[in-house]
Each structure stands twice: as structure tokens, then as C-alpha cells.
Chains A and B, each alone.
Chain A
Amino acid sequence: MIVLDKRPQPSRLWSYAAPVLAVVLTMLVGGVLFAALGKNPVAVIRTIFLDPLFSEFAWFYRPQLLIKGAPLVLIAVGLSFGFRAGIWNIGAEGQYIIGALCGAAVGLALYPAETRWIFPLMIVAGAFGGWVWAMIPGVLKVKFGTNEILVSLMLVYVAESLLAAMALGPMKNPDGMGFPGSRNLAQYPSAANLELVAGTGLHWGVVAALIAVIFAYVVLARHIFGFQVRLAGQAPRAARFAGVDPARMVLICMGLSGALAGMAGLFEVAGPAGQVTIDFNVGYGFTAIIVAFLGRLHPVGILLAGGLMALTYIGGGIAQSNLGLPAAAISLLQGMLLFFLLAVDVLTHYRVRFAARKVA
């Protein structure tokens, strides 16, 4: 009979090994799945995980890695604070949309003025929009004790409706011959989030993601707030005795994750996406949850996990067009990865022992 003994401290070895093992298991089971779909599993796995980096067209795909990875990392870093403290902001997708809408609104309102203050103003507006959207579940939780998971998630659907309303109504391009969608911000120099170095994919969102990673690392390791976040997650009772105010914790964690998700939305709408369209959001807010867990809620881990997840997006796209792999198989693969990680994580917190069955 298999017995699990709780480790006094989480295993350091397994906390590094578990994500790697989860990725390997996902590749294996994913391979079986692709074989069942009638594809060559080795070819598919190679296409997804290696071709974006090492194939002859890698010069085209490598910049994409930064473009897809930046929003994932930016959102996941914000989420990791709340997840550590047991505050579950699941609605990053909604905050991402609202951030993009607020930022784009500023840019579109000032069109066609040209000053260099427009883009910074848009970033502030984007962060503010995401912050407001995240404060709704935050304030409701603090004031009325409502469940932040459900409220933040409901607000994703509200944000999606709002996005559709904006793309078809107030933000529609007046010169767009009636097509839905706003003016293309990427073609409006003062508002565009362009590549800083041509051909690298390095835009302001990537810079912001890197700053967020460093900032989060310093706060978690060196600042009293980081200590309080870790304390609130590991020992809520001890945290209360130590004077950590739970309400303040909820508001800061929700606000921070919302603002970062909003910024991610703004960088996307002003750069790679360019326009406010009905289907502008592609689920980064949900994938970022996987990134946060895969990265062990640690800033550096999140950076690596974001890169890996961006890889599956790009590689999945290649597999879709070259090998005819259905798009859904990629989202299944991403879900599977989180499953395996959570399963393997038992080894981090428990020691497995084989024992003879005893009479209870």
C-alpha cells in the first residue's frame, strides 16, 4: 500500500524537477493523443517544441516568442502574488480586455494629434482600466464577502460583451467603410507600440514584462509586502496575528494583477493586434494561470514558463498549418500540462512510502 507522508519542508529538488517532469509527461501523453488523431507523434512534438526555435524559418518565429510570451508573463506575474496569498483572481482575461479598451480609447480620442505623451498616457489608462475591473471583485469581497473567483470570472463575460459593443459602436473606425473594428493603432505613430529593434519582436510590452519580473522578484524576496504575501498564503492565522490586514491584502493583490493584465491588453492592442475587434482577445488571461502555476508562482519560473507556453502557441500554429493538427489539440495540451503539474506536485509536498497494509 502506498502511503504519503507530509514533508516538513517542501522538497527543493522536486520543486524544480516537478515542472520538468510535467512537461515530459505532457509530451508523452500528447504524443499518444496525436497518434490517435492519425498524426506522427514525433513530428508533431518536434514541430511544436523545436521548430519555432531551430527550423530554417526560425528567424520568423523567434520574434513571435517575445510577442506571445510578454503578455503571458506580465499577467502571470501579477496573478502570482494573489495566488500565493490565497486570493484567486481568475478574471485576468476580462481585465486584459478592459485595459485594452481604456488604453485604446485614449489613443483614439486623441487621433490624429502627434505628441510623444500619447503612448505613455495610454499605458496609464490601460493599467487603470484593468485595475478598476479587478477592484470590482476586490471591493465586493472586502465589503460583502462575495467570492472573488466567481465575480472576477463573471466580469470576463461582461468585458467580452463590452468589447463587442465598443468594436461595433463607439470605437468603430469612421473611415472603415462600415467594417467592425477600430482604427489601426499600430499605424498611428504616437500611439503605436512598435518594435524597439526591428525584426526582434522586442516591443514595450516585453520591456514591461521584464521590469515586472525584476520588480516581483525584489518585492517577494526583500520587501515586507512580499513577506506578508507569503505568510498569508502559508499560515493565514499567523499572518493575522502578525498584523497583516486581510482586506488590504485582497485589494492590493487584486489591484496589482488587474493593472498588469490591463497593461498587457494595452500593449497588445496598440502593437501586435493593432485594432479593437470583436475577437481581439485570445485567452492570454486564462493561459497565464497555467503559466503562473508552471512557473511555481516565482518570477523567474514564470519567465521560463511564459516562454514555454508561447512556444506551444507558435509551434501549435505551425503544426496546424503544416500538419493539419486541429487547434483544439493545442489548448488540450496546455490544459494537460497544468493537470500533470498539479499531479506531480504531490512529490514536492509529500514523501511516498510503500508500507504493509495495517489493520486500522
Chain B
Amino acid sequence: MKAIKLAASEGRAVHPAGEGALVVRGLTVSYGEAPAVFSADLTVPEGSMTAIVGPNGAGKSTLLKAALGVTPRLSGQAHFFGEPLGQVRRRVAYVPQRASVDWDFPTRVLDVVLMGLWRDLGLLRPVRARHRQAALDALARVGMADLSDRQIGQLSGGQQQRVFLARSLAQGADLYLLDEPFAGVDAATERAIIDVLKALRDEGRTVVAVHHDLSTVADYFDRVALMNVRVITEGPVADAFTREALQEAYGGRLATVQIDQLRLGAT
């Protein structure tokens, strides 16, 4: 409820923060002179599956990172389940871009997944059989159970992505924020990942993914946020994924022919 007061004090009319798994208001991030994300609003209802779509450099990843406090924000707020992130970290899992880490790091698949249990393990609590089992279960969900001892430098791109997803699954969170989970992965991995994400949604959990492939938006997601530095439109795919919104987000870069091939919402 604090969110309402904060937002109200800025003269903004907002939905109650308690309504969504993630509610972002007026988020602005700048790395240099031009803002990477400008005054972005986003409302992600619980139990939904949302794609954040937009051209390169639209600030999609930055929006996620800034909401999570991974990247500093100039202004704006993000509330998770109606609370600031610090109160509900256990309920939120972040899956960074696969390419953002050095896969030459000296560790095994299982160790990476165990990182997801940090909030349970803390500094010094020993890794017990049940922790190891939780990590192995998470790996099994993404079809990687037999690779738990593999050195991470030996994984393919698709396997790396599955390990990252398993690490977030091990957290047992209610909200999953994924940064380009399908970038550079093979078709089998894409299928496996989307199956896991849909299963999470069916369990009542919430999924938000930065997504690049316009042709799969309608198949994979039930909500979409189109952005280009600002959030242009957000809502159920049927309402928000329109020709006009796409043209606004992508400018002239998206040929009409391409748009015609998409399964769009009503226009």
C-alpha cells in the first residue's frame, strides 16, 4: 500500500500495487545522455505470461534489470506482489542473459544450480542432501539431470540456457523474470523451455520474458508489452499486439509484409 502513497505523492493515478506480481511505475534508466528506459509503466498480473517485445536497444533488458535493482534507476518504482523487492526476494527469480557471464568459470552444472538456493543456504549452512535433491529436481525439469557433473565450459548454448532456468527453478519462486531465454538456443531447447514456463504458469506462477521472435509471441504468451524506450502498449495479446503498436515500436523497420504474417490481435 506504500506504493499507492508514493505514487500518489507524485500525482500519478495508479492501480493498487497489490494487484500485480510486478508493477512498475515511471521507471527511467539512463546509461549516458539519452535514457535507455523512459518513464516505463508495466503491470504484470499474477498467473500471467508476459512477453516484453521491442527492437534492439529498446531497453527491454534494462527494464527488467532496473526493476530488480540489478541496474540503478534514475526514478520510478517497482513493486513485487505489492512490496518492494527486498521484502519478497524469495518469491522472485531472475534469469539473466546467457551471454552475460563467462562460461569458462571453473565450476560444475550442479554448483550453478545450487546458487539458486543462496537464500536457504546463506553464508555457511552446509549443502545437505535435500538441497542437492532440489537442485537435481530443477535440472530434471529442464532435461539436464544427467549433466549435473558436467563442467559448465562444456555446455552448448541451449544447455547453458537450461542450466540458468534450472537455477531459477531451484529458487522455487512465484515470479520468473527471464532475459531473452530463447536467444541462440536450438529448437529442442526452445520447446523444453516454453513447456517449463507454461507449466509454471499453470501452477499459478507468473512469467515475464524479454522476447525477440514476433512470430511466436501469440503462441507462447498471453500478455505482451511493446516497448521502445517507453512502454508503448501493454495488455492481453489480443488487445495489445496490434499492427499500429508494432509499427510504433519498430518504426519503419518492420515491413508490412512481416506484420501481415503475424498472428495479431484485433485491429
Q: Do A and B form a real pair?
A: no
Seen from chain B, the residues whose Cβ lies within 8 Å of a Cβ on chain A are none
